C-alpha cells in the first residue's frame, strides 16, 4: 500500500467528512472510504482524472481550485486535504485560509524546494532543480509557487495558522532521524496538519 495513504488515514477520524483538493484519480478518497468509512469528495479539474474517478465511483466535483472555495460553507468538513498541490495554485495563502474556513483541520503536503539535492544542483549546474517530486523543467512546470519548510512555517506564523503536526519524508514517504532534525535540508516532502488558531 502507498505509504502516504496509510499516514493520512491514521490522522482521519472514522466517518469523517473529507474534502480532497486536487484528488487526482481518487486513490486517497478510495483508501479513506475503506479504512475509515469517510464521506469524501474530491475537487479536480483534469478531465482524465475526473474520468478515472467516474469509473471508480469516487465523488468528484469538476472545479478549478484557482477559482476559490467560496461555494463551500464554513465548517462543512472535518478534514480538508491537499496533497502536493499547494505549490501549483495561484494563491496558496488564500487557499489555506479557505481550507481552514471550511474544514475543522487540514492536511497539506508539498515538495520541499529547500531539499539538499536541489540546493546542490542549483550550486553546481546552475539549473532550476528537476527531481522526482518536482519532475518538470522551469518553462512547463505546474509548480509555480515553490516553497520550503521554512517558507511555509513563516507563512503559518504570519497568518496565525496552528501547526498541529509536522512530518518530514523522503520522496518515497520514508522518514529518518537526520531529516527530522534538519527537515529543510533533508526532507523531500513536507507534511503539515493545520488547525485554526484558538
Partner 1 sequence: MASEIPDNSVGLVKPLSHRFDSSITLQSGAKLPGFELVYETYGRLNEERNNAVLICHALSGHHHAAGYHTREDTKPGWWDNCIGPGKPIDTRHFYVLSLNNLGGCHGTTGPTSINPDTGEIYGPTFPTVTVKDWVQTQHMLAQTLGIDKFAAVIGGSLGGMQAMQWAIDYPDRVAHALLIACTPKLSAQNIAFNEIARFAISSDPEFYGGHYQTSGVNPERGLGLARMVGHVTYLSDDAMGARFGRELKSGDIALGQDVEFQVESYLHYQGETFSKLFDANTYILMTRALDYFDPAREFNDDLVRTLANAKAKFLVASFTSDWRFAPERSDTIVDALIAAGKDVISTTIESTFGHDSFLLPIPRYFGVIHAYMGRIARERDL
- The reply to whether 62 sits near partner 1 by the rule CB under 8 A is yes
- The reply to whether 127 sits near partner 1 by the rule CB under 8 A is no
- The reply to whether 14 sits near partner 1 by the rule CB under 8 A is no
Strand 103-111 relative to strand 189-196, pairing = antiparallel
Neighbours of 39 (CB within 10 A): 15
Cβ proximity to partner 1: between 59 and 141 the closer is 59
- The reply to whether 73 sits near partner 1 by the rule CB under 8 A is yes
- Smallest distance, partner 1 to C-beta of residue 27, A: 16
| Region of 56-64, 143-151, 163-171, 184-192 interacting with partner 1 (CB under 8 A) | 56-64
Q: List Cβ<8 Å contacts ≥24 apart for 54-60.
A: 56/25, 56/26, 56/30, 58/23, 58/25, 58/26, 58/29, 58/30, 59/29, 60/23, 60/26
Which of 9, 13, 68, 76: binder of partner 1 (CB under 8 A)?
76
- The reply to whether 126 sits near partner 1 by the rule CB under 8 A is no
Cβ proximity to partner 1: between 57 and 142 the closer is 57
Which of 1, 10, 14, 47: binder of partner 1 (CB under 8 A)?
47
- The reply to whether 57 sits near partner 1 by the rule CB under 8 A is yes
Judged by CB under 8 A, the chain residues 18 through 37 that form the site for partner 1 are: none
Cβ proximity to partner 1: between 37 and 172 the closer is 37
Q: List Cβ<8 Å contacts ≥24 apart for 167-175.
A: 167/7, 167/191, 167/192, 169/4, 171/111, 171/131, 171/132, 171/133, 172/3, 173/2, 173/3, 173/4, 173/7, 174/3
- Smallest distance, partner 1 to C-beta of residue 109, A: 24
- Smallest distance, partner 1 to C-beta of residue 1, A: 23
- What gap in Å lies between CA 154 and CA 158, rounded to an integer? 6
Q: 160 vs 69, 97, 126, 145, 157, CA distance in Å?
A: 20, 10, 36, 20, 5
Which of 71, 74, 126, 140: binder of partner 1 (CB under 8 A)?
71
Residues that bind partner 1 (CB under 8 A): 17, 39, 41, 47, 50-51, 53-62, 71-73, 76
Amino acid at each position: 500500500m502507498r505509504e502516504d495513504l496509510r499516514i493520512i488515514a491514521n490522522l482521519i477520524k472514522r466517518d469523517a467528512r473529507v474534502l480532497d483538493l486536487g484528488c487526482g484519480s481518487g486513490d486517497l478518497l478510495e483508501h479513506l472510504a475503506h479504512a475509515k468509512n469517510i464521506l469524501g469528495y474530491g475537487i479536480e479539474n483534469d478531465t482524465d482524472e475526473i474520468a478515472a474517478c467516474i469509473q471508480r465511483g469516487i465523488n468528484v466535483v469538476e472545479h478549478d481550485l484557482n477559482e476559490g472555495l467560496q461555494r463551500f460553507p464554513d465548517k462543512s468538513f472535518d478534514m480538508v486535504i491537499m496533497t502536493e498541490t499547494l505549490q501549483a495554485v495561484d494563491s496558496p495563502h488564500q487557499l489555506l485560509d479557505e481550507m481552514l474556513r471550511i474544514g475543522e483541520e487540514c492536511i497539506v503536503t508539498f515538495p520541499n524546494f529547500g531539499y539538499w539535492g536541489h540546493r546542490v544542483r542549483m550550486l553546481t549546474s546552475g539549473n532550476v532543480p528537476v527531481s522526482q517530486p518536482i519532475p518538470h523543467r522551469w518553462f512547463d512546470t505546474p509548480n509555480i509557487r515553490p516553497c520550503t519548510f521554512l517558507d511555509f512555517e513563516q507563512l503559518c506564523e504570519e497568518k496565525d495558522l496552528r501547526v498541529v503536526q509536522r512530518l518530514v519524508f523522503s520522496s518515497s514517504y520514508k522518514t529518518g532521524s537526520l531529516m527530522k532534525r534538519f527537515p529543510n535540508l533533508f526532507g523531500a516532502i513536507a507534511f503539515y496538519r493545520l488547525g485554526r488558531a484558538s
